[in-house]
Amino acid sequence: MLLEDPDEIDDDEFYEIMLWLSGSKVRFEGQSQLVELGGGIQKVSNSRMFYPQRDNWQVYKLSVYLPVYIIRPTFEGVKKLIEELDLPSGPRELYYSKLFNGVEYVNLRTPPIERFMKYTVEAFGVKIKPTGPLSYPPKYEIPDPSQYSTPPKYWQNSHLEIIQIWRLRIFDCPIEALQTTASNPLTPYHPSTLYLEERWHPKQPRLVFVGGLPEVHISFLPEFNRFFSDAYRILERLNPRGRPHGTSRYPDSDAFCRRMRKEVRVYRKLHKCKPTEKEIASKMGISESTFKRELRMAGLSWRDL
């Protein structure tokens, strides 16, 4: 819907400027043509970036078009989840929530891509604090996993935003079916769509369960088995035609990171320059593709090392 009054424009929304041509005669590239200029402004759907407002936000949408949110503990819609997951809730804590399609989360580049496109992954977690808060620029490193009951999963939104995932949900529906906004950044507390959920806590074993089940009839069992099989592979970031990521040599991301950083330090000391990924992969006895995959699974970027 086009806006007729400029005073209706909201500073916290994004708008598209529309322009079209038809009608009147004008000179264009030396020729006389019929052109009529027209246009208007319309609001981009679900583009509100701050809730409740910019100056005192509780939820901040990081992208106009992508469902990625930063949530403060003061947001009413997250308080029940804070209690249920036993999340840290100090005034400086920041929670992140993002919707991925199944392919994006697993990061598959080989068939069957379409198989995972019909699933949606919601990742929710806590932004880790810098290891050197007084340094500039601040350093962000994945914490030592030995301090936890089970190693956590991570996703890296940027080199300054490493998110420790406390809840993962995999939905049996495409991402378009789950509508989130700055005022409602999380999926429903009790979804009606079939989903698999994993919960992580630093002092407890992982909890995995299935929810959103319809009334189970025997005819539904093959569909349920199909979903559970695919959802488990997405949860563990497994290639449907291969082995689990990271099983080639290193038992966890921490072991990989320790060895990688050691090899980088040795190389820099000997050669006085930064090595390539291929050179370090060779030193570690793995292929370059496996090295890149392990790096990605650790939530790190080579250019930031």
Name residue 168's beta-bridge partners: 123, 198
Residue 133 binned pLDDT confidence (cut-offs 50, 70, 90): low
Residue 110 has pLDDT above 90, yes or no: no
pLDDT at residue 121 is higher than 90: yes
From the CB of residue 105, how many other CB atoms can be counted at a distance below 10 Å? 22
Residue 256 pLDDT greater than 90, yes or no: no
With a cut of 70, say whether residue 113 has pLDDT above it.
Answer: no
DSSP string, 252-271: SHHHHHHHHHHHHHHHHHHH
- Lowest-pLDDT choice from 103-112, 116-125, 170-179: 103-112
Token reading at 96: 């992140």
Residues above pLDDT 70, as percent of the chain: 73
73 in Cβ contact with 82 (< 8 Å) = yes
> How does residue 241 score in pLDDT terms, banded at 50, 70 and 90?
very low
- Mean pLDDT throughout 124-138? 81
Q: How far apart are CA 21 and CA 38, in angstroms?
A: 6
175 DSSP 8-state letter: G
Q: With a cut of 50, say whether residue 253 has pLDDT above it.
A: yes
Whole-angstrom distance, CA of residue 119 vs CA of residue 192: 15
| CA distances to 105, 122, 294, 298 from 253, in Å | 17, 22, 7, 5
Tokens of 190: 């009790």
CA-CA distances (angstroms) from residue 304 to 141, 159, 209, 262, 292? 11, 7, 36, 16, 14
Nearest in space to 2 (alpha carbons), one of 23, 22, 17: 17
Q: Are 123 and 105 in contact (CB under 8 A)?
A: yes
Q: What is the mean pLDDT of residues 73-91?
A: 96
- Name the pLDDT band for 14 (thresholds 50, 70, 90): low
| The pLDDT value given to residue 26 | 46
Which one has a higher pLDDT value, 46 or 193?
193
Distance CA 90, CA 83 (A): 13
- Using one digit for the tens of pLDDT, what is the confidence trace for 187-197? 999 999 999 99
Query: What is the model's pLDDT at position 100?
Result: 92
Question: Is residue 82 within a helix (H) or strand (E), and if so which, with residue range?
Answer: helix 79-85
Report the candidate in 232, 235, 96, 122 with the shortest Cα–Cα distance to residue 187: 122
Joined tokens for residue 301: 């970027």
- pLDDT, position 105: 87
Among 62-66, 94-98, 167-171, whose mean pLDDT is lowest? 62-66
Q: Average the pLDDT over 288-296 and give the result.
A: 82
- At 130, list the tokens: 């810098």
Q: Is 300 helix (H, G, I), strand (E, B) or coil?
A: coil
| Residue 71 pLDDT | 98
Greater confidence (145 vs 215) lies with: 145
Q: What is the mean pLDDT of residues 259-283?
A: 88
Fill in the DSSP letter of residue 29: T
Predicted local confidence at residue 220, as pLDDT: 65
Mean of per-residue pLDDT scores for the chain: 80
E strands, the chain, in order = 2-3, 15-21, 25-28, 31-34, 37-43, 50-51, 59-61, 68-71, 95-101, 120-127, 153-158, 161-171, 195-201, 204-211
For the segment 184-221, what is each residue's pLDDT rounded down to a tens digit? 999 999 999 999 999 999 999 999 999 987 666 656 67
**pLDDT band, very low/low/confident/very high, at 245 (cuts 50, 70, 90):** very low
pLDDT of residue 114: 76
